[in-house]
Amino acid sequence: MDAGHIILGRPWQSDRRVLHDGFTNKYTFLHKGHKTNLIPLTPQEVYEDQVQLSGQKTKPQAKKEPTKSSKSLNYLAKSKQDFQDVFPEDCPKGLPPVRGIEHQIDFVPGSTLPNRPAYRTNPVETKELQRQIDELMDKGHIRKA
């Protein structure tokens, strides 16, 4: 049986008679009339597998044509020339200087966040708004949804 990198979840087990040993993480089931055991790889086998897979990935990369990279370099050089006023000749070394104003939010351990709307109206505006809403509801122009 060929092995593969797959995750077998509960739906896979539901229609088959699969036994799972949680301690060894081993699955046992019947496949084409033969008892089959799925066991995890050892750490050494995982390492060897990863080395083999990474070796396979690097081989096709060596066969890439250099014309694509030279085309992109030409495009970048042309873009830099077109926008010469945007790109400085020499880049500053390091990070920008520390500014005088620093913003931070100090959290108090164990405190809860306030559960309020982002934009609150003052009490006078709230009372006036509620009065207008009540008046329109009494007249029948609006109703609660």
DSSP of 45-72: HHHHHHHHHHHHHHHHHHT--THHHHHH
Q: Is the pLDDT of residue 46 over 80?
A: yes
Provide mean pLDDT across the span 82-98. Answer: 81
What confidence score (pLDDT) does residue 68 get? Answer: 63
Q: Is the pLDDT of residue 74 over 70?
A: yes
What confidence score (pLDDT) does residue 133 get? Answer: 93
Rg (the chain; Cα; Å): 34
What confidence score (pLDDT) does residue 87 get? Answer: 74
53 near 46, Cβ under 8 Å? Answer: no
Residue 31 is inside which H or E element, if any? Answer: strand 26-31
What confidence score (pLDDT) does residue 5 get? Answer: 52
Instruction: Indicate the SS3 state at residue 127.
Output: helix
